[in-house]
Amino acid sequence: MCGVAAILDSGADPLSEVALEAICESLRHRGPDGRSVSRYGPATLVHTRLAIIDLAGGDQPLSSEDGRCHVVANGEIYNHLDLRAELEAAGHKFTTHSDCEVIVHAYEEWGPDCVTHLNGIFAFALWDEGRRRLLAARDPFGVKPLYWFEKAGRLGVASEVGAFLAADLIEPAVDEVSLEHFLTWRFTPSPRTMFAGVSRLPAASLLLADADGTEVRSYRAAPGERLAEKPERLADELTARFEAAVGRQMMSDVPYGAFLSGGLDSAAIAVAMRRNAAEPPLTFTIGFPGHGDSLDERSAAAETAELIGTRHHATAMEQGDFTAELDACVRHLEEPTGAASAPAAFQLSRFAAQSVKVVLSGQGADEPLGGYERHQAGAMLNLIASVPSALARPLVAAAEAVPRNERLKRAARLLSPDDHLDRVLQIFEIADAPTRARLTHGPAAAAADERRGLAADVLADLGDAGDPLSQVLYLDTHMFLPDSLLLYGDKTSMAASLEQRVPFLDVELMRFLERIPARVRVRGLKRKWLYRKALHGYVPESALNRRKHPFATPYDDWFRTSLGAELDRLYAPGKPVAEHIDPTEVHRLTDEHRRGRADHKRILYCLLEFAYWHRAFIERP
């Protein structure tokens, strides 16, 4: 993995050497093994390298044979050997063994459509001198982030917003619509970011800039015709395709390992790695002492590691470490992601980076396979929609009166909307509209309309095949995953100069998986039904039968003690963050949570993270 940036000065003075050096330095943690700054007329390409493939010869930028096209890339192209053979047969000449060199030759051969030939995780910028065109792209599932801005004749693209800040190319300010999104969904959907004037390139998208202007174009592909085979056959094929995906993503010229919890997804990856290699893989986990097996998974992970035969290592996070980790983590995340597990992932990444440069993780398994409680809600949406409004209102009121049962309250709120899309989107909400209105007086209606528009665009891929469960799984995979969990997965690992790969989102595997009907992936209310069937006899029974626990921290308990006090401090009267969030409402929510009258942990964590982000990037002490 690497850090990339591109500056196109079509109507501005060229960026100074001092500014370019600042960009390099800001991306150094993403690529400590090398750096380059290359000017091509109005375009400048910046690269910091984390050497994984072709350690000696893979420095970037990588150029075409005629020297007219140049690329800087962050990521891995898992099918690069097949593509290399195809491109060499078409007459292209390669000068390195780097997997990323296929990008520049694929562009020569197929133009911007080259991205549809790549199976990998990537964010790249390519300058085409002949056409005077800059092309930037983000991979199909958004595993690697890419940001951009346009101002006063200058276009900037980079792996991290910090590149723009370091060179004083933007003035940080809060995007109020994004804040509304964040307090609704725990993340900011692309193309917005929490920084006003800075956009995030959506997953499966291209940015094209030339003399005619700048265009963002999606290359997301609809799932295709549904598979009609029997579940037994689909399960067998899923197992085989999954193992092949893990094998593809083990390509490396440096040591690698895997994150291993006590759960099913990471166990499946560890088994597949064991079956794809002669040596047992290294595995890493983190736990939380004193919080029981549901949160401290070290003993379960150790048991799984022993049964599979991995070389296992564990570390721990104490309550007192959390705020320090959060402060450092937020600076690397650059955007609030609403994931209370991010600080633990940040610590785990540093721990793993002491032994390896690459890890495989289970991120991306739950969204397409149906692993969350919200997918059960999606399976029941048609039934929920049939409840008469006269009955719905008293049911909602009764649920709201029950203390601390947030799951019941969220389920009851699904009875309120009359519009189907609103009901689907409400499944993902972490706080009701009245609470959000008391917290902030931002453009709530405009933000709601924008969320509906973004979701409708994604769901158009499904056409008439979009039953409620299919819609929830598809939105989770293509809208929520790229800009939330994958964003924090990339940022927390790359902060430690560690490459994180996600085999469940392998393009070939996902092309098969998304053709399986949603009602086969989730049968009735049984989450991950087909997937669990596929892994029966493949993973240890203890991992298969262990109750699902998401990777999480004990932040629910901590908000009754240290984190509750931290929120009181951060939202004290007169604090700068009060310009955006009402401190009185924050204190009310904290008090209710502390006294056990309500379960506000999700929105409280978002408020905590936003305050840390605001202090780091807006107040900039």
Q: Which residues are catalytic?
A: 2
CA-based torsion, 592, 598, 602, 603: positive or negative: negative
Could you say which DSSP state residue 278 is in? S
Please report, to the nearest 10 degrees, the dihedral formed by the alpha carbons of residues 556, 591, 194, 146 taken in order.
Answer: 0
Kindly list the distances between the CA atom of residue 237 and the CA atoms of 54, 223, 228, in Å, as whole numbers in the listed order: 33, 17, 13
CA-based torsion, 392, 397, 399, 404: positive or negative: positive
Q: What is the DSSP string of 383-408?
A: HHHTS-HHHHHHHHHHHHTSTT-HHH
| Among the listed residues 124, 198, 123, the one whose alpha carbon sits nearest the alpha carbon of residue 161 | 198
Beta strand pairing status for 282-287 and 256-259?
parallel
Kindly list the distances between the CA atom of residue 390 and the CA atoms of 4, 386, 397, in Å, as whole numbers in the listed order: 56, 12, 12
C-alpha count within 13 angstroms, C-beta hemisphere, residue 230: 2
- Are 197 and 203 a contacting pair, CB within 8 Å? no
Q: How many C-beta atoms lie closer than 10 Å to residue 98's C-beta?
A: 22
| Among the listed residues 599, 612, 11, the one whose alpha carbon sits nearest the alpha carbon of residue 326 | 612
Q: How many C-beta atoms lie closer than 10 Å to residue 532's C-beta?
A: 18
Residue 379 to residue 375: CA distance in whole angstroms: 6
> Which parts of 500-600 fold into alpha helices (H)?
507-513, 518-521, 529-535, 541-545, 555-558, 562-570, 583-594
- Are 469 and 522 a contacting pair, CB within 8 Å? yes
What are the tokens at 413? 């709120």
What are the tokens at 447? 């933000």
Backbone angles phi, psi at 128, to 5 degrees: -105, 100
The beta-strand segments (E) located in 346-497 are 358-360
3-state SS, one letter per residue, for 114-182: HHHHCCEEEEEEEEECCCCEEEEEECCCCCCCCEEEEECCEEEEECCCHHHHHCCCCCCCECHHHHHHH
